Chains A and B, each alone.
Chain A
Amino acid sequence: MPAMTYRDALRQALDDAMTEDKSIVVIGEEVGRYGGAYGVTKDLIKVHGPERLIDTPISEPAIIGAAVGAAMTGLRPVAELMYIDFLGMTMDQLANQAAKIRYMFGGQIGVPMVLRTQGGTGRSAGAQHSQSLEAWIMHTPGLRLAMPATVADAYHLLRQSLTKPDPVVFIEHKALYTRKEEVDLSADPLPWGKAAVRRHGDDLVIVTYSRQVLYALEAAEALARNGIEATVIDLRTLNPLDFDTIRTHVERVGKAMVVSEGVMTSGVAAELCARISEECFDFLEQPVIRVAGEDIPISVSQELESGSVPSARIIAEVAERLTA
C-alpha cells in the first residue's frame, strides 16, 4: 500500500470531490495561489481554476457568511478558516446563521457547506493559534463535527462531509499534517457517524478523538507491556456522536477514561463523561476519569505548551492508577 500524509489525503479528498461534484468551491484566505497556510490546497488551483479556489481578503466573518449564502443558492462551498482560533471572528455567521437557517426557516433550505479548519497544539504557535475549540461547535445544535485522527479518515471523513446536507465543521489537527500512513483509499470506509475501535482490551476503555487517539494508542502499547489491555475508541465525529459504541465497550469493561486536548471545564470530555456516568452507571467500577487540557491558555514555550495538554505518558499513568 502506498504511504500518504494526512495533508495529502486531505488534498486528495478535495481534488477527487471537486472532480466529481462541480458545485464544490473552496473559499478562504490563501487557499488558491498560496496553496493553503498548511499546504492542504496546494496546486488545486492549477487543476480546478481560480473560479473554484477563491482567494479571499482577510475577512473571516464574510468568508463564512459568503459560504452560507453560496450554500443556500446552489453551490457546495468549502470555507477554510486558517486557524480554529479565528472562530471568535466569525462565530455569528457560523452559530447564528449556518447552524440555524434550516431550523428557523422551517426546513425550507439547508446549508450544505463544510468549514475546514485546524486546531490543537504542537507547533509553539501560542495562545491564539493553538486552541482546541471543538466544544464551541459541539455546543451548537445544527452543526456536524468531524475530527479525523488517521490519514484514511482525513480522506474519507472529508469526502463524506462533502455529501452532507447540513453544515459540517471539519477540524484537522495541525500536528498531524506530516504524519504518514500506508493507506488504501479504495477500501470501504466506516460509515459517517460511526466510531472506530482502534484497539481492543478488557481492562479499561479510552474514549478520544483527533490527535489524542494516537497518544492513547501509544499509551495502550506501554500499558500492554505491564499487562494492562485498553480498548481505544476513536470517535471520528463528535456530531453525530456514536454513543452506542462507547456504551457497548464501557458496559463490557467497567472502567472508562475520556481524553481530550480541549480545556477540561465544560469541554467535550465533560459531556462524554457525564453521558457515560449517567447511562453506564450500573456497569462502572470506578468514576469516569477525564484527561484533558489544563484550564489555561496555551503558552508558546514548548515545555509549557506540551505540559498543558494530555500526552501518552500522562494517559498511561492515569490508566495504571485507574486499573490498579
Chain B
Amino acid sequence: MTLTANSHLAELYRTMRRIRTFEERVGELFVRGQSAGSMLHLSIGEESSAAGVCDVMKPQDTFTTHHRGHGIFLARGADPKRMMAEIGGKETGYCHGKGGSMHIADMALGHLGANAIVGGGIPAVVGAGLSSKYLKQDAVSIAFFGDGAMQQGILYESMNMAALWSLPVLFVCVNNQYGMGTRIDQATRNTAFDERARAFGLNGAVVNGLDVEDVRDAARWLIDEARAGKPGFLSVEVYRFFGHARMDKSPYRAEAEELEGRKKDPVLFARAKLLDSGLESEAALDALDREIAAEMDATIDFAVESRAPALSSMFRDVYAVGEPEPEPVRARIDRVLAREDV
C-alpha cells in the first residue's frame, strides 16, 4: 500500500475496490465450478452502500443482510479468505460450509446473518434493538436489504415497532433497481421510499449511491439519531451491474439501459475524485488495485485448497452441544433391520 495522502476517501475507495475485486473472484470461483451451488448474488455496482454505512458503524453495532451481502460483510471487516471458503462450502468457511453465500454470519463482527428469504432478516434488528436498549449495550442494529424487500410486509411491521419503542435501529435499502428480473417501477407505484419510513415516524433519507461520501454522511446522521433513540431508514440508489445471480444474463432489460446504469460506478467515481482532487496519484491507486487483486486471488486458492466438511458434521449444530441430537436415518434403519430374526 503506497497511498501517501491521509485521506479517508482513499480508505473508502480501498474498501470498495476490495468488494469489487472480491465479487469478481466469486464469479471466477463459480465459473471454475468450485463454488457450492449457483446461488451467488454479486453486489458489483453497490459497493458504496456497504462501504459508506459500515464506515460509521461502531464495534458494538450489529447487522443483518440480504442474500446480496458479500460487500457489506467485507466492509465490516470480514476475512475474505474465510468468506470465499464459505461460498465454496468448505470447512474453513465462516459457517463451516453449512451456510454459504446466503447464510454467512459472524458474531465477532456483529453479523447476525445473511438471509435468503427476502425481508427475512429485517425483524431481527428490532430484537437486537430491544436487547441494546434493555441491556444498555449502546448498539445500533442495522438491517440491510434490497428494493425487493420494500414490498414485504415484515419491513413495515418492523419499522412500526422500531418507531413505537424508540429503538436504536436503522433500515438500509440497497436500491439496485431490480428485484430479480422485476424493475422497481414494475413492483410499486410510489418509489419515494423515504416517505414510507417517515409515515411510520422514522427518519428517512434517500441518497445517490454514486458518491460513497454522500452515503457515509447520510448514514452518519441516521446512525447517530438511531443511537439516541430515533430509528431511521436509508435508501441508497445504485444500479445492479449484472444479473440477479450468476446464471442470469438479464434478458429482461435492454443493453442500452445496462450500459447507462454501469456508468453509475461508485468505485470509478471515488477514484476520479481522488485523482481530481490531487489526493492520490494514478500510480499509487494502480498499486493499491494490484495489491488488492493479489489479496483476492489468494482467497480463491484458499477456498479451493480447503477441505470439505466431514460428512458426520451434518448432524452437528442442529441443537446446542450436549443437547439430544438427531439420530441419523441410516442408524435407525440398521437398528430396525438388525432384529434377531431378520
Contacts and interface: CB of A to CB of B under 8 A. Distances in A.
Contact of A102 (B93, B123, B139, B319): B319
Interface string A42-80: 000000000110101101011011111111111101000
A66 B126 contact: yes
B93 to A, nearest CB: 8
Interface stretch (A105-113, A152-160, A179-187, A200-208): A105-113
Contact of A109 (B105, B127, B161, B324): B105
Range of interface residues on chain A?
A: 35 or more
B157 A68 contact: no
A73 B157 contact: no
A104 B99 contact: yes
A35 interface: no
Contacts of A104: 95, 98-99, 103, 105, 113
A97 B62 CA distance: 17
B112 interface: yes
Contact of A92 (B120, B126, B316): B120
Contact of A65 (B99, B158, B165, B318): B158
Contact of A142 (B117, B128, B160, B319): B319
A57 to B, nearest CB: 6
Contact of A75 (B97, B135, B318): B135
B166 interface: no
A105 B95 contact: yes
Nearest to A166: B319
A193 B324 CA distance: 9
A106 B98 contact: yes
Interface stretch (A122-130, A265-273, A276-284): A276-284
Nearest to B97: A106
Interface string A17-30: 00000010101000
Nearest to B325: A240
Given A74-B137, A105-B103, A165-B323, A54 B130 contact: yes
Interface string B91-124: 0011111110001111100001101010011111
B137 A62 contact: no
B164 interface: yes
A130 B102 CA distance: 37
Given A74-B131, A96-B120, A66 B161 contact: yes
Contacts of B104: 105
A114 to B, nearest CB: 14
Given A57-B161, A72-B128, A166-B320, A108 B98 contact: no
Contacts of A297: none
28 contacts: A57-B160, A62-B123, A62-B161, A65-B123, A65-B154, A68-B123, A68-B124, A69-B130, A70-B128, A71-B127, A72-B127, A73-B139, A74-B135, A74-B137, A75-B131, A92-B154, A93-B120, A97-B120, A97-B124, A104-B95, A104-B98, A105-B103, A105-B104, A106-B93, A106-B317, A165-B320, A278-B332, A282-B339
